[in-house]
């Protein structure tokens, strides 16, 4: 089996590592516009060889994990170059624009729009790990537009990765993910900014970071190269979540100003049920 991974960072590199475990005989070819990434991936044994778009015609599987602004430009060219029996899977964090861009492509049936919800705050080939996708959710959009045989091949791979599959339309995906992922990143970046601005002495931040700051600000370590185009493509949903978040912060501030500590307590108490939600045990039916 020929597996081509385009974009050998954390996401693509981790995919490649697990594919090698699942299919020891697979030939894994890496493509990256950053030559140092493919070189490093080769040294780390993450890929078997370097390639370019000429290898796509004979690929069984193409996995694309590049920033979403590059994705909308490259996917049409990639589809142009693949064979009739190649399945092309993306890992983009936005889905509406990409599905629109290739909506009328003659090889639309070769493409499976997916978003594996997995990652860490680190990036690059050296951040790639085995098992990154284990137990994680993969959201697949417009599955009906992918050729059935190619769907099957992709799902077999996802099963090897031990991913849980959810089907969603691209618009619903982008709306949900704005709340659960994109807003988290902005809240974390702005928290980091607020603290850095104030605490001129960085030693103080470090000394006091045990107080919960470290986990809350973890996402502020994320790559701006990856996140700027995500916010651009999902701008409308992201602004909506930001407005609601700011509104909730304003209301909380008002409770403090009014010395309404009973409702300060209630606000936190109501939100505590996030514990059960994250355990996967819904407390209320909807």
Q: Among residue numbers 245 through 274, which ones bind a copy of itself (CB under 8 A)?
A: 245-246, 248-250, 252-253, 256-257, 259, 261, 264-274
Residues 188-217 that bind a copy of itself (CB under 8 A): 188-217
- Give helix 224-233 / helix 68-81 axis angle, nearest 10°: 80
Give the three-class secondary structure for 139.
strand
Residue whose CB is less far from a copy of itself, 149 or 164: 164
In whole angstroms, the minimum distance from the beta carbon of 149 to a copy of itself comes to 27
- For position 282 contacting a copy of itself by CB under 8 A, the verdict is yes
In whole angstroms, the minimum distance from the beta carbon of 216 to a copy of itself comes to 4
For 160-215, give the DSSP string: HTTPEEEEE-HHHHHHHHIIIIIHHHHHHHHHHHHHHHH--SHHHHHHHGGGTHHH
CA distance 44 to 3: 17
- For position 187 contacting a copy of itself by CB under 8 A, the verdict is yes
Pick from 109, 136, 145, 160: which binds a copy of itself (CB under 8 A)? 136
Report the b/e string of 7-32 with b at 16+ CB within 10 A: bbbbbbbbbbbbbbeebeebbbbbbb
Residue whose CB is less far from a copy of itself, 24 or 280: 280
For residues 137 and 152, the answer to whether their CB atoms sit within 8 Å is no
Angle at 152 between CA 81 and CA 66, to 5 degrees: 45
Residue whose CB is less far from a copy of itself, 33 or 193: 193
CA distance 187 to 42: 36
In whole angstroms, the minimum distance from the beta carbon of 48 to a copy of itself comes to 29
Residues written for the chain: 286
Binding segment toward a copy of itself, per CB under 8 A, in 18-26, 43-51, 140-148, 276-284: 276-284
In whole angstroms, the minimum distance from the beta carbon of 225 to a copy of itself comes to 8
Binding segment toward a copy of itself, per CB under 8 A, in 54-62, 78-86, 101-109, 226-234: 226-234
Residue whose CB is less far from a copy of itself, 24 or 197: 197
Pick from 33, 118, 142, 148: which binds a copy of itself (CB under 8 A)? 118
Pairing of strands 49-50, 61-64: unpaired
């Amino acid at each position: 089996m020929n597996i081509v991974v385009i974009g050998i960072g954390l996401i693509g590199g981790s995919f490649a590592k697990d594919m090698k475990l699942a299919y020891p005989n697979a030939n894994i070819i890496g493509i990256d516009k950053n030559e140092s990434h493919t070189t490093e991936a080769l040294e780390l044994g993450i890929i078997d060889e370097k390639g370019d778009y000429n290898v796509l015609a004979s690929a069984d599987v193409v996995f694309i994990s590049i920033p979403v602004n590059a994705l909308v430009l490259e996917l049409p060219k990639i589809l142009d170059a693949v064979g009739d029996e190649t399945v092309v899977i993306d890992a983009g964090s936005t889905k509406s624009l990409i599905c629109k861009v290739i909506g009328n492509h003659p090889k639309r049936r070769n493409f499976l729009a997916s978003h594996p919800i997995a990652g860490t705050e680190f990036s690059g080939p050296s951040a790639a790990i085995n098992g990154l996708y284990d137990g994680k959710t993969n959201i697949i959009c417009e599955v009906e537009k992918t050729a059935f045989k190619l769907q099957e091949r992709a799902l077999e791979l996802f099963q090897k990765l031990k991913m849980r599959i959810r089907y969603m339309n691209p618009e619903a995906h982008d709306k949900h993910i704005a709340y659960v992922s994109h807003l988290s990143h902005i809240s974390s970046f702005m928290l980091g900014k607020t603290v850095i601005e104030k605490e001129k002495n960085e030693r103080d931040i470090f000394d006091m970071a045990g107080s919960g700051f470290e986990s809350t600000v973890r996402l502020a370590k994320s790559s701006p190269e990856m996140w700027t185009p995500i916010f651009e493509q999902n701008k409308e949903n992201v602004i909506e979540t930001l407005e609601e978040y700011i509104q909730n912060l304003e209301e909380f501030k008002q409770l403090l100003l009014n010395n309404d500590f009973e409702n300060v307590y209630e606000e936190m108490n109501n939100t505590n049920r996030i514990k059960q939600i994250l355990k996967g045990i819904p407390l209320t039916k909807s």
